[in-house]
Structure 1
Amino acid sequence: MYAGLSTMPLHSRLCWSLVTMLALGILATFPTHSKAYTLANLSRLPAHKKCGAFFPRRPLVDRDLSRSQVLSGGISAISGSFLVCLGASFLQIKPVIAADEGSGDKGSPTFVTCASSSGIFRFLYPETWTSAPKLLQTHQEEVTLKSKNVLGFSAGVAVDPVRIESIQQSGSPSEVGARIVALEGKKEGVSKVELLGSAQEGDFYTFDYEVESTRGRNRFLARAIVADKKLIVFTIQIPMDAYEANEATISRMLQSLQVNETNGK
């Protein structure tokens, strides 16, 4: 199904997922569900259904090749792009009381769990957050959320098939981070990109960088991993002037990401 992208470098997939949530995709067909949600009525869904509406089964469509040039040369990726809010492959949502205090996002929030329909990932997010759907799904699996209280504070997970067994095969964290910064610096309207940190935490790579552009100064924090030959990238974006007040919430969300082996299912 994904043979058309078999020559794309894996770093394309990671940078694109980390920064723009736009992507290189191919046409592929998945079974559609009988129930659908529109952008207009999604906001009226009960809380336990909101996250589930993020995982429709829709055709993948190629949208943007320019975001596709960042991990290491010679490593191929196969796969798709980012977000549709039609269909209903429901996720599990479970309330969890937050441990952190004074997050800035309306004090100490209550967190809920968002788990993928395939079971490959799950993470916590403040229950006051809402969906931020786009019109086209461009990854194999994807979800994106945004804060109601802090403009520009958002988070998303993207899952794409790859050919490698581990993210370490794409290069070191600093090498991958340097390529991300180099590509971002070439984007229209971007005046400055600075890599604030990169590290390996177990099987995960983490990245922390700032982008200054005509759209303002934003900070990006991400965790990436390859499991079952799938690249899973969890990215949080926030305006620089809101980062300090929301640092506890960001840390809680990033560290909550769990990835499960599904044996290729």
Structure 2
Amino acid sequence: MAGRTLLVAGVVATAVVAQGLHSSAHAEEGSAVAAASEPADPSLTEYVNAKQQYRLLVPAAWEAKGKAGADVLFEDPSRRSTSLGITVNPVKVASIEQFGGLQDVGDKLLDAERKKESTLGVTLLGSSSRTGATGATLYEYEYELDSTRGRKRILNTVTIFSSRLYILNAAFKCDKDGCSEEAQRGVALLRRLAGSFDVTTN
């Protein structure tokens, strides 16, 4: 999963570098606290990283892991192939729109996946943009990846705020023939978690 998160970071960072800008890895610690802005759900907690200025909901049972290149990585202990990670990189650009639109960034992301030797096929299932509480634009992508390592549903959220590039990457491993009804429930959870991600002010 961390490798895919770095792939996304590389795709977006390449676009930044192409404009004469620079990005580099940076990580800080965060903490999990009870969610206050979402409907009460005892299975979820809100993870807040005040220094890196972001927050999102995560299942209370999931474990936070240390992973090179990731600010934080959460795994489902009952299904290790299900994970969600965040990377944060400083950049010299004010917004995601300054170096690419929704489709442009999505095309670069999928092209990078297709070029990997392990990839058998990639299908974009949906993309959208939303405005966070701070006014930052967040690009969201969902695609199915068929590779020599299996079939996965991937969700990405990308934004820039306060001179930082934020990338959320979530993955759910499906059956060989596709995502079953049970898998769809797992993917639906990842959509909810990704949808809760936002950047914050101190």
TM-score by length of 2: 0.79
Deviation at 1:243, TM superposition (A): 3.5
Name 2:168's counterpart in structure 1: 234
User: Secondary structure in 2 aligned to 1:122?
Assistant: strand
Residue type of the alignment partner of 1:251: R
Q: Which residue of 1 aligns with 2:105?
A: 176
5+ long unaligned stretches in structure 2: 132-136
1:97-137 Cα deviation digits (max 9, x unpaired): 9859xxxxxxx861111111405001110111012323x3x
1:214 corresponds to: 148
Equivalent in the alignment of 1:127? 60
Looking at structure 1, the residues matched to 143 and 184 of structure 2 have their Cα atoms a distance apart, in angstroms, of: 14
Which shifted more, 251-260 or 181-190?
251-260
How far has the Cα of 1:20 moved from its partner? 1.5
In structure 1, C-alpha distance between the alignment counterparts of 2:163 and 2:183, rounded to whole Å: 33
TM-score, with normalisation over the residues of structure 1? Answer: 0.62
Q: Is the 8 A contact 2:152 2:171 kept in 1?
A: yes
1:246 aligns with 2:186: yes
Looking at structure 1, the residues matched to 193 and 6 of structure 2 have their Cα atoms a distance apart, in angstroms, of 22
Aligned residues: 187
> Contact (CA 8 Å) 2:25, 2:89: kept in 1 or not?
yes
Which residue of the partner structure matches residue 259 of structure 1?
199
2:139 to 162, 185, 205: 205
> What does 1:45-64 correspond to in 2, within 5 Å?
none
SS at match of 2:15: coil
Higher strand share: 2
Amino acid aligned to 2:22: A
Alignment partner, residue 93 of structure 1 = 32
SS in 2 for 1:77: coil
Among 83, 86, 91, the alignment partner of 1:157 is 86
Say whether the 8 Å CA contact 1:130–1:145 is kept in structure 2. Answer: yes
**In the TM superposition, what whole-angstrom CA distance separates every residue of 1:219-255 from its partner, at most 9, and x where no partner exists?**
1112111001100111211113354122442232112
Q: Which letter maps to 1:256? A: S
Name whichever of 68-77 and 164-173 sits farther off: 68-77
Q: Is the 8 A contact 1:147 1:153 kept in 2?
A: yes
Match of 2:5 in 1: 21
Between the aligned partners of 2:167 and 2:29, the Cα distance in structure 1 is 20
CA contact (8 A) 2:126 2:141 kept: yes
Q: Which residue of 1 aligns with 2:134?
A: none
CA distance, structure 1, for counterparts of residue 184 and residue 42 of structure 2: 16
Percent identity between matched residues is: 24
RMSD: 2.9
Residue type at the aligned position of 2:31: Q
Structure 1: runs of 5+ lacking an equivalent: 1-15, 24-66, 84-88, 101-107
Structure with larger Rg: 1
